[in-house]
Amino acid sequence: MPELPEVETVVRGLRRLLPGRTVADVTLGPHTVVRHPQGDAFAGAIRGRTWSGVERRGKFIRCRMAGTADELIVHLGMTGHLIVTEAAAEPAPHTHFRMQLDGGHELRFDDARRFGRVLLGPWDALVQAALLPALGMEPLGREFDRQLFHARLRKTERNVKAVLLDQAFVAGLGNIYVDEICHLAGVRPARRASSLTRTQRDALFDHTPAVLRQAIRNRGTTISDYRDAWNAEGTNQERLLAYGRGGLPCLSCGTAMRKSVVAGRGTTHCPRCQK
């Protein structure tokens, strides 16, 4: 479900409440969505702690706690929700943890498909232990580097879609926004990356942050499941040009958009505008 703009919107929502709140108690559901640490250590390390800040890295949410290098790390998978709510509110189905906060709120995680992941620990140590993946460039950060982008695309035999979906290359892109980026850049997702012109690579590089920033302004894309930290839907689905528009006319040229499978994912492109 959630890609970088949705995760960023959740993070901004959490920042409005979490910092300064203390965790009075932690309740875990029957399913083991917590990957690390196992057993009671997870709840024990969080109970009594006070949240300091909330950050995003790729599609991961990082909730920092005062006085420790440990942080709560949440990946929403396809259907996960990290939500702040009144403590009295009925929990959503498939709620996997609840954290009672001072002031009458709870931080809750629910995830029907259980593709999400929850970990606790220092970020770098978890990467070292291979419990977290090493992530590539942040597309909205200063480190998003044009030269590196060109070099990587030039040398791989994979298709453009697979490369852009690779979290070890650029962190945070997913199926929706890769289709949008390719459409705006005029590039077929199935194109072998090494066959692109310099101009096409530049267009992909330039449209990546633009597409993500627009989606963040629109508080994310809600197709069905996605909600932010305050259970609100996004509006970016009203602005999508490619994703979900198979068979519909291209908004640039009117040609019917084509749906296919690229890199194992449903993919939509305009056969006329995208080369």
Distance, in Å, from the CA atom of 36 to the CA atom of 122, rounded to the nearest integer, reads: 11
The amino acid at residue 251 is L
Please, what sign has the CA dihedral across residues 20, 21, 24, 30? negative
Determine if 94 is a binding residue for DNA (CB under 7 A).
Answer: yes
The pairing of strands 34-36 and 117-121 is parallel
* Minimum distance, C-beta of residue 22 to DNA, in the bound complex (Å): 30
* Dihedral pair phi/psi, residue 234, rounded to 5°: -90, 175
- Write b or e for each residue in 11-44: b if 16 or more Cβ atoms lie within 10 A of its Cβ, otherwise e: bebbeebbeebebeebebbeeebbbbeeeeebbe
Pick the closer one to DNA by CB: 21 or 117.
117
Q: Which residues are catalytic?
A: 2-3, 59, 265
Distance, in Å, from the CA atom of 189 to the CA atom of 207, rounded to the nearest integer, reads: 14
Distance, in Å, from the CA atom of 207 to the CA atom of 209, rounded to the nearest integer, reads: 6
The amino acid at residue 78 is M
Determine if 167 is a binding residue for DNA (CB under 7 A).
Answer: yes
Determine if 1 is a binding residue for DNA (CB under 7 A).
Answer: yes
Determine if 230 is a binding residue for DNA (CB under 7 A).
Answer: no
Determine if 106 is a binding residue for DNA (CB under 7 A).
Answer: no
* Minimum distance, C-beta of residue 216 to DNA, in the bound complex (Å): 13
* Minimum distance, C-beta of residue 59 to DNA, in the bound complex (Å): 5
Q: How far is CA 263 from CA 144, 179, 266, in A?
A: 23, 12, 8
Determine if 176 is a binding residue for DNA (CB under 7 A).
Answer: yes
Enter the DSSP assignment of 31.
S
* Minimum distance, C-beta of residue 52 to DNA, in the bound complex (Å): 25
Among 222, 241, 245, 273, binds DNA (CB under 7 A): 222
Pick the closer one to DNA by CB: 20 or 266.
266
Determine if 38 is a binding residue for DNA (CB under 7 A).
Answer: no
Among 90, 224, 238, 254, binds DNA (CB under 7 A): 224
Residue that has been written with the tokens 């609100």 in this structure: 232
Pick the closer one to DNA by CB: 242 or 270.
242
Nearest Cα neighbor of 66 from 54, 51, 55 is 51
Using CB under 7 A, which of the segments 19-27, 47-55, 151-159, 197-205 binds DNA?
A: 151-159
Distance, in Å, from the CA atom of 115 to the CA atom of 56, rounded to the nearest integer, reads: 18
The amino acid at residue 250 is C
Among 61, 220, 250, 269, binds DNA (CB under 7 A): 220
Determine if 157 is a binding residue for DNA (CB under 7 A).
Answer: yes
* Minimum distance, C-beta of residue 51 to DNA, in the bound complex (Å): 24
Pick the closer one to DNA by CB: 101 or 196.
196
Which residues sit at the interface with DNA, rule CB under 7 A?
Answer: 1-3, 6, 58-59, 75, 77-79, 93-94, 112-115, 117, 133, 156-159, 162, 165, 167, 174-176, 220-226, 263-266
